[in-house]
A and B are shown apart, each in its own frame.
Chain A
Amino acid sequence: MLGETEPLDAAPLEPQTGGAAAIPRRGRSRYSILTRRDKTVMALMVGVPTFLCVTLIWLPTIASIGLSFTNWRGITPLTDQNLVGLKNYVTLFTTYPFFWPAVIHNVLWLVVFVFIATPIGIFLAVLLDREMRGTRIYQSVFFVPVVLSLAIVGFIWEQIYTSQGFLNSVLGHTSSSTAIDFLGNANLNIWAVLVAASWRHVGYVMVLYLAGLKSVDPTLREAAAIDGANARQIFFRVVFPVMRPINIVVVVITVIESLRAFDIAYIINRGKNGLELLSILITNNSISEANLLGFGSAIAVVLLLVSLVPIVTFLVRTMGRDTV
Chain B
Amino acid sequence: MANRDTPSSATTPSPSPGNPMLTRRRVLAGLAGVAGLAATPSLLAACGPGASSAPSAPTATGAAPSAPSGSAGASVGAVGALSVGSNHSDPGEKTGMELINKAFTDATGITVKMNTVDHGTFQDQLQNYLGGTPDTAYTWFSGFRMKFFADQGLNVAVDDVWSKVKGNYTEGFANSVVGNDGKVYGIPVDYYPWAVFYRKSVFSSKGYTVPATWDDLKKLCTKMQSDSLTPIAFGDKDGWPAMGTFDILNLRLNGYDFHVNLMAGKEKWTDPKVTTVFQKWAEIVPFHAKDYAGLTWQNAADTLVQKKSGMYLLGLFVSSQFAATKNQADLDDLDFFPFPTLGTQYDAEGALDAPIDTWEIAAKSPNLSSETDTAKAYLEFWAKGSTQVIMFQNQPGLIPTAKDADTSSYTALQKKAVEIVSKATRITQFLDRDTRSDFAGSNGMQSFLQKFLANPTQDLAAYQKTIQDFWESLPPLT
Contacts and interface: CB of A to CB of B under 8 A. Distances in A.
A5 interface: yes
A176 B437 contact: no
Contacts of A271: 442-443
B466 interface: yes
Interface stretch (B33-41, B84-92, B194-202): B33-41
Given A48-B41, A291-B127, A183 B470 contact: no
B309 to A, nearest CB: 9
Nearest to A276: B443
Contact of A177 (B20, B24, B290, B476): B290
A76 B23 CA distance: 60
A316 interface: no
A5 B9 CA distance: 13
A98 B441 contact: no
B442 A75 contact: no
Contacts of A287: 124
Interface stretch (A89-97, A114-122, A250-258): A89-97
Contact of A270 (B16, B442, B476): B442
Interface string A1-35: 11011101100000000000000000000000000
Interface in B1-29: 1-2, 12-13, 16-17, 20, 23-24, 26-27
Contacts of A5: 16, 23, 26-27, 30
Contact of A73 (B295, B442, B475): B475
B443 A98 contact: yes
Interface SS of chain B: helix, strand, loop or mixed?
Answer: helix
B293 A186 contact: yes
Contacts of A189: 294
B320 to A, nearest CB: 20
Given A44-B41, A97-B466, A269-B239, A183 B293 contact: yes
Interface in A234-284: 245, 268-273, 276, 280-281, 284
A142 interface: no
A183 B41 contact: no
B437 A97 contact: no
A45 interface: yes
A238 B473 CA distance: 57
Interface string A150-175: 00000000000111000000000000
B401 to A, nearest CB: 24
Contact of A290 (B1, B441, B454): B441
Given A91-B473, A163-B294, A45 B37 contact: yes
B438 A273 contact: no
B58 to A, nearest CB: 26
A123 B9 CA distance: 34
Contact of A272 (B294, B443, B475): B443
A6 B27 contact: yes
Contacts of A280: 442-443
Contacts of A129: none
A8 B20 contact: yes
Say which size band chain B's interface belongs to.
35 or more
A315 to B, nearest CB: 14
A178 B13 CA distance: 74
A230 interface: no
Contacts of B126: 289
A45 B12 CA distance: 23
A80 interface: no
Given A8-B20, A272-B443, A71 B475 contact: yes
A46 to B, nearest CB: 11
Contacts of B131: 75
Interface in A63-118: 71-76, 82, 84, 87, 91, 95-98
Contacts of B124: 287-289
Given A163-B291, A176-B303, A292-B474, A8 B23 contact: yes
B230 interface: yes
A6 B30 CA distance: 10
B254 interface: no
A292 B438 contact: yes
Contacts of B291: 163, 176, 179, 181, 184
A95 B473 contact: yes
Contacts of B12: 1
Contacts of A82: 475
A291 B477 CA distance: 10
B2 A322 contact: yes
Contacts of B441: 284-285, 288-290
A4 B292 CA distance: 71
A9 B294 contact: no
A294 interface: yes
A280 B152 CA distance: 29
A77 to B, nearest CB: 11
B447 interface: yes
A280 B292 CA distance: 22
B37 A48 contact: yes
Given A273-B447, A289-B124, A183 B27 contact: no
B444 interface: yes
Contact of A8 (B2, B17, B292): B17
Given A41-B38, A95-B466, A183 B26 contact: no
B437 A272 contact: no
Contacts of B448: 97
B279 interface: no
Contact of A186 (B38, B40, B454): B454
Nearest to A183: B294
B119 to A, nearest CB: 12
A11 to B, nearest CB: 10
A295 B444 CA distance: 13
B218 interface: no
B294 A44 contact: no
A195 B437 CA distance: 33
A119 to B, nearest CB: 23
A182 interface: yes
B450 interface: yes
Contact of B437 (A9, A71, A181, A290): A290
Contact of B438 (A162, A177, A290): A290
11 contacts: A5-B30, A8-B16, A9-B27, A75-B152, A268-B237, A269-B239, A276-B443, A288-B124, A288-B437, A289-B126, A322-B2
Interface of A: 1-2, 4-6, 8-9, 41, 44-45, 48, 71-76, 82, 84, 87, 91, 95-98, 161-163, 176-177, 179, 181-186, 189, 245, 268-273, 276, 280-281, 284-285, 287-292, 294-295, 322
Given A5-B16, A184-B294, 15 more contacts: A1-B30, A6-B27, A74-B127, A176-B230, A185-B294, A270-B442, A273-B447, A273-B454, A276-B447, A280-B443, A284-B442, A289-B123, A290-B438, A291-B438, A295-B475
